[in-house]
Amino acid sequence: MSNILIDSGKLIRGIIDFFYPPFRKFMTLQFFRYGATGSANLVFDWVLYFFIYNFVLRKKMLDLGFVTLSSHIAALAIKVPIVLLSGFLLQKYVTFSSSDLNGRVQLFRYSIVFIINLCICYFGLKLLVDGFNIYPSPSNVIISIVTVFVSYFFQKLYTFKTSDTEV
């Protein structure tokens, strides 16, 4: 299984790297890979949520016996672990493939950064929407930009660090 992931990572890296030259003046190759894989995972997130909400749950409540979840929250709960794993695999095998940390350590650290980003999103939206009365959609864009940079540096320096990691 590991060889399939490694080979897939090399293939995806090759495709992404093909589109890198026009962006060379503006960003590092690693940051470009991070942006490409993160964007792909974001689109996957949106499509997965739509599919789960509309076709799996059919916009109906999910009764688990001990708790009932509304369809939009249930779709979120179902897709989060899938998107967390797909994002982790893309970062591990495409963006930060030279990390010398154990995969379990990376996954644990990736999950911590994921939770930190959820908190930044929550509190950032509360501040911008409720505190500064900025519309939710522009607020979400602003917070997303913040979390992209926060996440990149956490992933580079913590989750997937290498012995020669530099800022």
Domain count for the chain, please give it.
2
Whether 79 and 1 map to the same domain: the answer is: yes
**Which residue in this structure is represented by tokens 């997130």?**
45
Whether 79 and 112 map to the same domain: the answer is: no
Q: How far apart are CA 88 and CA 100, in angstroms?
A: 15
Whether 68 and 13 map to the same domain: the answer is: yes
Strands 62-63 and 68-69: antiparallel
Q: How far apart are CA 167 and CA 152, in angstroms?
A: 11
With DSSP H G I counted as helix, E B as strand and the rest as coil, what are the percentages for the chain, rounded to 5? 75, 0, 20
* H or E element at residue 143: helix 136-154
Q: How far apart are CA 38 and CA 152, in angstroms?
A: 10
Whether 74 and 114 map to the same domain: the answer is: no
Whether 57 and 110 map to the same domain: the answer is: no
List b or e across 30-63, with b for residues whose CB sees 16 or more CB atoms inside 10 angstroms.
bbbbbbbbbebbeebbeebbeebbeeebeeeebe
**Range of 133's domain?**
99-167
Whether this prediction's pTM lies above 0.85 is answered by no
Among residues 60, 80, 97, which one ends one of the domains?
A: 97
Among residues 79, 97, 115, which one ends one of the domains?
A: 97
Whether 16 and 84 map to the same domain: the answer is: yes
Whether 19 and 44 map to the same domain: the answer is: yes
Whether 27 and 89 map to the same domain: the answer is: yes
Whether 122 and 80 map to the same domain: the answer is: no
Whether 121 and 88 map to the same domain: the answer is: no
Whether 20 and 80 map to the same domain: the answer is: yes
- Residue 167: the pLDDT is 44
* H or E element at residue 103: helix 103-125
- Residue 164: the pLDDT is 61
Q: How far apart are CA 52 and CA 119, in angstroms?
A: 24
pLDDT one-digit tens code per residue, 88-132:
999 999 999 988 899 999 999 999 999 998 889 888 888 988 899
Q: What angle do CA 111, 105, 147 make, to 5 degrees?
A: 35
pLDDT one-digit tens code per residue, 3-54:
899 999 999 999 999 999 999 999 999 999 999 999 999 889 888 988 998 9
From 69-73, 96-100, 160-164, the region with the lowest mean pLDDT: 160-164
Whether 9 and 78 map to the same domain: the answer is: yes
Among residues 97, 130, 149, which one ends one of the domains?
A: 97
